[in-house]
Amino acid sequence: MQAARLWGRRDLRIGDEEMPRPAAGEELVRVTAVGICGSDIHWFDEGGIGGTNVVRSLVPGHEFAGVTQDGVRVAVDPAIPCRACELCRCGHPNLCESVVFAGHDVDGALQEWIAWPSRNFHPLPDTFSDADGAMLEPLGVAIHACNLAHIERGTTVGVFGCGPIGWLTIQLALHRGASQVVATELASRPHRLAAAAAKGATTVVANGCEAAAIRDLTNGRGLDVAIEAAGDNAAVDAAVDAVRPGARIVLGGIPSGPRTSVSASSARRKGLTLAWARRMKETYPEAIGLVASGAIDVRSGVTHTFPLAEAAQAFEAAVRREGMKVMIVPGPPG
């Protein structure tokens, strides 16, 4: 079978590999769609992420869907928590210190076949495309971030960063009853600002003065909630400046380096609550329901599709932040 393997910074090679052999509790899945995540971009473009570097070759990819050997189309949860530690037992499998994550701890989905635990399979409705199934993972990340943000009806929400996660967060915040969503993005990415506006956000260009503009949009009061999805300290600073006293800020972006800074004086004086979002937890059933009902659109977020043979070109497009979600199709549709 064919697989795309990352050997180092910007060194992604397509090659022939042996078919994976399922262990106990695992099944073979023919991979049909894989989305490129922001974390994948860090691995490819920088050779690492958050202080962890590529020290061995690795098959990337954790946003994926496929078809089981029995012909069932599934979305696949990329996280395998231990299910036995205190964090898992308390309902926080996303924080499991022994978690095995596709494309990070073990080879991921950028291959024609993968062996994965069948308990991580989520059957897809017939109306879902393969790419829809792969988009459920980033939607799950947005769900987790919104859960941490405690969005209620009438809440004013700021989304700092309008990539795929931010775009999905905008939709979800409005679905949960936010009275206003203000979204920021760099002027060099007008297509993302347009996509955010199309989903109901009031958009503001991130130019160093966006916090003042956002406060003006809320009559000087400031936002109730901010969700940072840019992985950039400038976005964190803007979020701190744009929220009201007593607000909540969820940091969901993944920075290139191991540290994120925050203006302690502003955050302390405002009495802000800061929460860091770690992936997602048990969100696939809710995500499937949201997409099936039409409450959340994932399909129009997929703007680029490449075959596995052109995986390197797909990553280059993602690095340039072209479009929104870049999808790779390892084989024929399911």
Domain 140-276 fold is: Rossmann fold (3.40.50)
Which residues, listed in sequence order, are joined to residue 73 by a DSSP beta bridge?
Answer: 67
Quote the pLDDT of residue 50.
67
Quote the pLDDT of residue 255.
85
* CB neighbour class for 248 (10 Å; exposed up to 12, middle 13-18, buried from 19): buried
Quote the pLDDT of residue 333.
58
User: How many angstroms separate the CA atoms of 229 and 226, rounded?
Assistant: 10
Contact call for residues 85 and 75 (beta carbons, < 8 A): no
Quote the pLDDT of residue 332.
67
> Which residue has 């993972």 as its token pair?
137
> Which residue has 């991979």 as its token pair?
31
Domain coordinates in residue numbering, the chain: 2-123+298-329, 140-276
Residue type, 224: D
**What are the per-10-residue average pLDDT scores of the chain (334 residues)?**
95 96 97 96 85 80 97 98 96 96 96 98 98 98 97 97 97 98 97 97 95 95 97 94 98 86 90 96 97 98 98 97 96 64
| Homologous superfamily of domain range 2-123+298-329 | Medium-chain alcohol dehydrogenases, catalytic domain (3.90.180.10)
| CA-wise closest residue to 225 among 243, 241, 212, 238 | 243
Instruction: Establish whether domains 2-123+298-329 and 140-276 are of one fold.
Output: no
Quote the pLDDT of residue 168.
98
* Pairing outcome for strands 73-76 and 156-160: unpaired
Quote the pLDDT of residue 220.
93
Phi/psi of residue 273, each to 5°? Answer: -105, 120
